[in-house]
Amino acid sequence: MPGARDTFLDEADIQHGDDIEERIYQAANESQELLVLLTPWAITRPYIWMEIGLFWGAGKRIVGVLHGLSQQELATDGRIPLLLKRGKMLDINRIDGYFDELEERVKARETLP
C-alpha cells in the first residue's frame, strides 16, 4: 500500500479480482496528494471523478495536469466540477516544476517530529 514516498496507479496497483472502488478508497486514504492527468479521454472515465472526489472530500491536494486540453477548454467545459476549475492547473510540458515542489513537500514531511 502507498506510504509517504510511494505511489499508487490504479492500472498498475489494482489486481484482477480486487474491489476497484475499495482499492481506490484505500489508496486515497493513505496518500498525501493526487496527481491527475486530465486528457479528453480521461475526463470521460467515471473513476477519475471518484478519485478526485475522495481527495477533495478529505481536504487533500489535487494537482491537475493537462494533456490535450487547455486551461480555457477545461474552464468552459460544463462536465468539469468547479473544484478543479478553481485550482491551478499544470501543462504536462511543465511537470518538472511540480516534481520539484513535490520533492520539497516530501522533505518537509520527513523532518516533522
What is the Cα–Cα distance from 12 to 26, expressed in whole angstroms? 15
The number of distinct structural domains making up the chain is 1
Residue 17: its pLDDT value, please? 93
Residue pLDDT tens, the chain, 113 long: 344 447 888 788 889 999 988 988 888 888 888 998 989 888 888 888 888 888 888 888 888 899 998 877 777 777 776 666 666 788 999 999 899 998 898 888 888 77
Cβ partners under 8 Å of residue 16, min gap 6: none
Q: Is residue 64 part of a domain?
A: yes
Q: Is residue 9 part of a domain?
A: no
Q: Is residue 15 part of a domain?
A: no
Q: Is residue 38 part of a domain?
A: yes
Q: Is residue 55 part of a domain?
A: yes
- Between the alpha carbon of residue 22 and those of residues 17, 26, 30, 63, the distances in Å are 12, 6, 12, 22
